[in-house]
Chains A and B, each alone.
Chain A
Amino acid sequence: MTLLLDRDELHETLEKMARAIAGAAPRDVPVAVVGIRRRGETLARRLLPRLERAGLKAAHYGVLDITLYRDDLTTIGPNAVLRGTEIDFDVTGTWVVLVDDVLYTGRSVRAALDALMDLGRPRAIRLAVLVDRGLRELPIQPDFVGLRTDTEPHHIVQVKLTEVDGRDEVELYDRRG
């Protein structure tokens, strides 16, 4: 196992991302921070106070469950627990920051974009990810990145967050052992 980010580095990375997002956000359009279940949700919630300190008050916060939009539904089987999307505001006209933990093939983001579009017509959607590990299979690129790192398909990148996993860090494993 390789430690990509320890606790302090992870916190610092989030601060940096929040400052970048706050700097890029339009001032005349309501901003919505939307996390992809499950760790994107936690990261999005953590970004909120940091964004505020950086001078950006997000108008909305929401959570996207992309289970029903995945393109691998036929192969993953009924393991996924559907938790439901929780977006109780109208996304139409908002500037959406879509938050996820790891960007890999781009398929989750594709699903999330479709799910968002079914809810309305955002003014713009920007993508913020904590880790971009490369190896994209779709033409999708992030707008805000915490850490960029080159990986191989046999690697596993795991973002651990206190709320879900009991600790804060980003780890890289080799599936081959």
Chain B
Amino acid sequence: MTAAGEGPVWTRKHLLTINALSREEILFLLDTAEGFKEVSTRSVKKVPALRGRVVVLMFFEDSTRTRMSFELAAQRLSADAIDFAEKVSSTKKGETLLDTARNIEAMGVDIMVLRHPAAGAAEHLARAVNCCVVNAGDGQHAHPTQALLDLFTIRERKGRIEGLNVAIVGDIQHSRVARSDMRGLQKLGAKVTLVGPPTLVSRDFEAMGARVTHDFDSILPEMDVISMLRIQKERMTASGFPSVREYVHFYGMNRERLRRCRPDVLIMHPGPVNRGIELAADVADGPNSSILRQVTNGLAVRMAVLFLCQQAAAAAGAEHAA
């Protein structure tokens, strides 16, 4: 079934940034993910859509949940998922990312899922290989599947995204999640407020259409959704960062702050949570929290991403052959 007689909505074989996607593409992907949710509730948690396809997980940064989520998504689509262990690989012996990727591609890979500390790594890779590339986080640049699963969760809990007031709180400056979330939310019509100490949230973000504030308490009552970012304790020692105690005092979400929010406010967190720092334990486990829901939805969203990118690549290949 095509959308209103036009061509297919999704024609991308790569997912690199949220920025590149249109509002229609984002909604189409979220709708597709909706259809995948049911697969995880079956006794046989598998569909044959990507049978015989190979997905390689190339993680050049530590990540447990994102890697597992992609691996499980690939397996539920009946693809073979293989792990590329960077710590013991030849990149440690001086091989470049592209050489590594070309070698892996030569083994007959259909989709590469890349997590890399350098911003732009996924785009760089996509230009060099013929297979699909999915960005699982590149430096401080983008983390599109996290943004998509956040959008999916907000829509599921709130019934809509358009017109919602959404705050993203924390180290915005160094966060790819914040950048991708902001772009995705804006494309779907939400109003985004970025919150954090002046050293971690620059006024430059106002040029991108977001509201910036350093006073968390003042915005609490108007927010529909508050997404708490993880504070990276290792950064805390760097200059420009407040002490943990100071941060918790001004920017930590706790029961007292939650009381001043709307009763139906949605509290999100991309994980892993520093309990007692950006998020108090009782709020993280409370009814307003969607943290585990985000993880569950992440699986459906990543299945949709792998499925649609592979479909687009197959369609392009079929056209080429015809």
Contacts and interface: CB of A to CB of B under 8 A. Distances in A.
Nearest to B309: A78
Interface in B42-62: 42-44, 46-49
Given A73-B49, A74-B318, A119-B44, A84 B311 contact: no
Contact of A82 (B32, B43, B312, B315): B32
* Prevailing SS type, chain B contact patch: helix
A44 to B, nearest CB: 18
Contacts of B48: 68-69, 114
- Chain A interface category by residue count: 20 to 34
Interface string A75-86: 111111111111
A28 interface: no
A85 B49 CA distance: 14
A38 B43 contact: no
B35 interface: yes
A81 B3 contact: yes
A68 B312 contact: no
A163 interface: no
A65 B49 contact: no
B38 A85 contact: yes
Interface of B: 1-3, 8-11, 28, 31-32, 34-39, 42-44, 46-49, 77, 304, 307-308, 311-312, 314-315, 317-318
Given A82-B36, A83-B35, 4 more contacts: A80-B1, A82-B32, A82-B35, A84-B38
Q: Which 9 A-B pairs have the closest CB atoms?
A: A77-B315, A82-B35, A84-B35, A78-B311, A68-B47, A68-B49, A118-B44, A74-B314, A78-B10
16 contacts: A68-B39, A68-B48, A69-B49, A73-B311, A74-B318, A75-B314, A76-B315, A77-B312, A78-B11, A78-B311, A79-B1, A80-B1, A81-B3, A118-B43, A118-B46, A118-B47
Interface of A: 38, 65, 67-69, 73-86, 114-115, 118-120
